[in-house]
Amino acid sequence: MRTAFLQTLFELARQDERIVLMTGDLGYTVVEPFMNELPRQFVNAGVAEQNMTGMAAGMALSGKIVFTYSIANFPTMRCLEQIRNDVCYHHANVKIVAIGGGFAYGAMGVTHHATEDIGIMRMLPELTVMAPGDPLEARHATRAVVEHAGPCYLRLGKAGEPIVHKGNIDFRIGKALLLRDGRDLTLISTGNLLQTADTVAEQLASYGITTRLLSMHTLKPLDNDAVLSAARETQAIATLEEHSVIGGLGSAIAEVLAEADGVRVPFRRIGLPSSFSSHIGSQEYMQEKHGLNVASLVQALKELLMRT
């Protein structure tokens, strides 16, 4: 997803000199093409994310479309006050790009585990929040946030994620994408677990369970219609995210279901506990330790359906 984002941004920046990429001293070996060809549209702010965000807001209010870019925790929580007061309060055209959502940097420890960012960003006024599920979605999301007037948060994986969609997609901010349809279960995924969700749905089919699979690439604004249709048309709903179950996709869906009239459906949030992980290792290892591997998810969803 990182490569898809950078390639797409590079293409767009060649055509639009308003686009600026700012990095917090991150991305070398991948940002050099942008830096070398478009030096007037590239800024390395150093390990000073608060300054980077303040500069980005000022440039945006001067007519630029500014992307701030770093490992997920650092362009978000380290400079939260600047995002709230400088970017969101002034509706500045700043796009905050987080690389390595969830456990992508799992071996680097808790300081690099981005497991609360979606919840924090969702609460900020004026901020559009997106977490594409594969490189194809990442390309479309990059174009969409350039066209969108106002602050955005774009949460990406790191590298190596496969394309999950079988063909082209109708990508629109605030509209979920349907990958599979079914009547038994709706599985709603956000971010880099889309491939896992697709594999889970395929394995459930071997048990005779049909799954509606939705990629909820936009968490704010949320596709309420897709959620309510799932509640009315399938027997159960589960959410899947590499993020705390508090504040992220699961919370957003629960809010919709709790306030809807005449909707009662078994529901489960599948994600990470609200605690610091005691495990250190690769992303795959961390997912397995937290029950986000295929076998654990298939079992959890079969148990959910037993409640129907």
Domain definitions of the chain by residue range: 2-156, 177-305
Nearest Cα to Cα of residue 138 among 215, 213, 35, 247: 215
Query: Does CATH place domain 2-156 in 3.40.50.970?
Result: yes
User: Mean of the pLDDT values across residues 62-73?
Assistant: 96
pLDDT one-digit tens code per residue, 72-104: 999 999 999 999 999 999 999 999 999 999 999
Q: Go through 13-27 and write b for each residue having 16 or more CB atoms within 10 A of its CB, e for each that does not.
A: beeeebbbbbbbebb
pTM: 0.96
The maximal CA–CA distance of the chain, rounded, in angstroms, is: 59
For residue 127, is it left (φ>0), alpha (ψ between -120 and 50) or beta? beta
Look up tokens 């594409």; give the residue: 132
Strand ranges of the sheet holding 185-189, from the earlier edge strand across to the other edge:
177-180, 211-215, 185-189, 236-244, 267-272
**CATH fold match for the domains 2-156 and 177-305:** yes
**Third-level CATH fold of 177-305:** Rossmann fold (3.40.50)
pLDDT one-digit tens code per residue, 115-157: 999 999 999 999 999 999 999 999 999 999 999 999 999 999 9
